[in-house]
Structure 1
Amino acid sequence: MHILSSLDEVLDRYDAVFCDVWGVLHNGRRLYPGAAPALQAARKAGKTVILLTNVPKPRGPIPAQLDRIGCPRDAWDVIVTSGDATRFELGARAPGPVFKIGPEEFDRTLWEGLGLQTATLDRARFVAISGLNREDETPEDYADILAQAKARDLEMICANPDIVVRVGDRLVWCAGAVARDYSAMGGRVVMAGKPHAPIYDLAYRELETHTGRAIDKSRILCIGDGVTTDVAGANGQGLDCLFIASGMHGEALFSNGALDAAKIDAALAAEGVRATYVMPELA
């Protein structure tokens, strides 16, 4: 694993970048200062930048959200979301009915136009989760719901495999934490976002459409801060990975203000994954 000071050091090895959003480009409140300029420089060098995010909604509203926090449009070419990949799984199970978990207004576009009917848990044919209903909740608050779903052997569709995400200075639980607990109980879970294959399959198709040609996997670089999502997903796809050691980790992988290689190695080894490169933050 090579420690980089600039993305420019390795850009000539790649034709495309799959870049995570939360934890790499922004923290939910503001842009990280060096991230957008790094992606702009990559595009100026002729690289295609695909923002690959586990946000549990289709890509439609994402550009406007990035606009609001000041992310320039020329920092990316295409956006691919877990919501895009998950809608296929949801549509295949229409009309349901489905028992939904997640903030209604935030994830509204995830469900639109799929013809899904909603129901109480005792009448539902499957469960779908886009996030916790409220930011002040924890996965433990869903223990009773999970027990009831498991008793009926209901399948769970999880629109966001992330366990936590950094929002400003706080870590907020994501849908993946509830899905993790359901899986640990023996429940059946389907996920389309990182690190799972469907979101990458969609990204490859979008990349080929944008460039007009197939790009060999050896020429694609993944960038992300999630060990179990970004790094594991890249490993599973046979793609090189640049691990961002801040993001959701804050200062946990640093010592005295500098990257701590031993801590990084331990964090990756704990999940059985590897990174090709590491940076403190994207720049």
Structure 2
Amino acid sequence: MNNHYEVIICDIWGVLHNGKNYFPRAVKFLKDFIDKGGLVILLTNAPRRSKNVRDYLLKMGIDSGICQYIVSSGDCTFEWLNTLNSSPLYHLGPAKDNSLFDNIKINKVNFENCDDCICTGFFDEYNESIEDYESILNNLKERSITLHCANPDLYVNKGSTILPCAGLIAQRYEEVGGKVVYFGKPYSIIYDQVIKRANQILGKQISKKQVLAIGDGLYTDIMGASMNDIDTLFITDGVHKEQLDEYIGNSEFERNIIINFIQENNINIKMPKYIQRELDFFNYI
């Protein structure tokens, strides 16, 4: 990889860990790339600021060397929050995301009285469904409130459990006619930020041809990099694992089968340059 790329932009959840345990071979892959002179920037749709993401990764036991540079959708969200001043804001999301509001003055109110809304996820992703949010979304829609989504992901795998994310609420809000602003992948604003960060770290303008994006989300990681003319490595044993395992069945794990899956699901992306089950030094297809 070092012969072809100077920078790796790597997703976190689904590539480096599954929400419970980190993947040693993935960590070793990135550490080896850094040791050979490459730059790794972790890019995540976590609705938390990069410092909090780093603390989480270090607590999990991931090598500090690959956690040095992180850009999160929470960082992008925080920049927007700084523009609100005293505008009444409704936080649609769990208390665990309250670190997003650290060191900033926010006028939090209930949904009936807000002028702005930030969505970071389900209040209880283990026990709730999207139907539980109909009354809130309908109220916001009736008052033409824009919903700002801090995590465009629809679902995430935590171990063997599939959990809904803020993107699912935002998707539903659009379905009922509401307006949504997204922070994070696949939207260009976060890729502009990460390329800018790479240029600052390296002290030069980096060509996108020298950048590889690694991720497990076709609609976020791979689509976002594709829209920004960045080569991709698609990890199949992430958020799409269950769908892909059913699609592949007893067939061999081959590139043409994965490409067929992408095409049959009408996912409008430039096809991944590399495909692996999990991030490792070998077994690219």
Deviation at 1:238, TM superposition (A): 0.9
The residue correspondences of 1:18-97 to structure 2 (distance < 5 A) are: 18-97=9-88
User: How far apart in 2 are the matches of 1:225 and 1:159?
Assistant: 19
User: How far apart in 2 are the matches of 1:264 and 1:140?
Assistant: 32
Compare relative contact order (CA 8 Å, sep 6+) and give the higher one, 1 or 2.
Answer: 1
| Residue in structure 2 matching 1:146, options 121, 137, 153 | 137
Deviation at 1:251, TM superposition (A): 4.6
8 Å contact kept, 1:103–1:133: yes
Gapped regions of structure 2 (runs ≥ 5): 281-285
Cα distance change of structure 1 residues 267 and 125 upon mapping to structure 2, 3 Å threshold = farther
Task: Give CA deviations for 1:249-270 in whole Å, capped at 9, x if unaligned.
Answer: 2253243485254542244222
SS state at 2:275 partner:
strand
AA in 2 matched with 1:51: L
Aligned alpha-carbon RMSD (Å): 1.6
Identity of aligned residues (%): 34
Partner of 1:15: 6
SS state at 1:100 partner:
strand
| Residue in structure 2 matching 1:132, options 112, 122, 133 | 122
Deviation at 1:11, TM superposition (A): 3.4
| Residue in structure 1 matching 2:103, options 102, 113, 125 | 113
SS state at 1:165 partner:
strand
AA in 1 matched with 2:100: L
8 Å contact kept, 2:8–2:213: yes
Task: Give CA deviations for 1:116-168 in whole Å, capped at 9, x if unaligned.
Answer: 21112221101111111112212221111111111111001110000001111
Partner of 2:274: 277
User: How far apart in 2 are the matches of 1:160 and 1:257?
Assistant: 34
Gapped regions of structure 1 (runs ≥ 5): 1-9
User: How far apart in 2 are the matches of 1:68 and 1:151?
Assistant: 43
The residue correspondences of 1:231-250 to structure 2 (distance < 5 A) are: 231-250=222-241
User: How far apart in 1 are the matches of 2:99 and 2:238?
Assistant: 27
Count residues with an aligned counterpart: 273
Question: What TM-score do you get using the length of structure 1 for normalisation?
Answer: 0.92
AA in 2 matched with 1:78: Y
Cα distance change of structure 1 residues 146 and 267 upon mapping to structure 2, 3 Å threshold = farther
8 Å contact kept, 1:37–1:75: no
Question: What TM-score do you get using the length of structure 2 for normalisation?
Answer: 0.91
User: How far apart in 1 are the matches of 2:223 and 2:70?
Assistant: 20
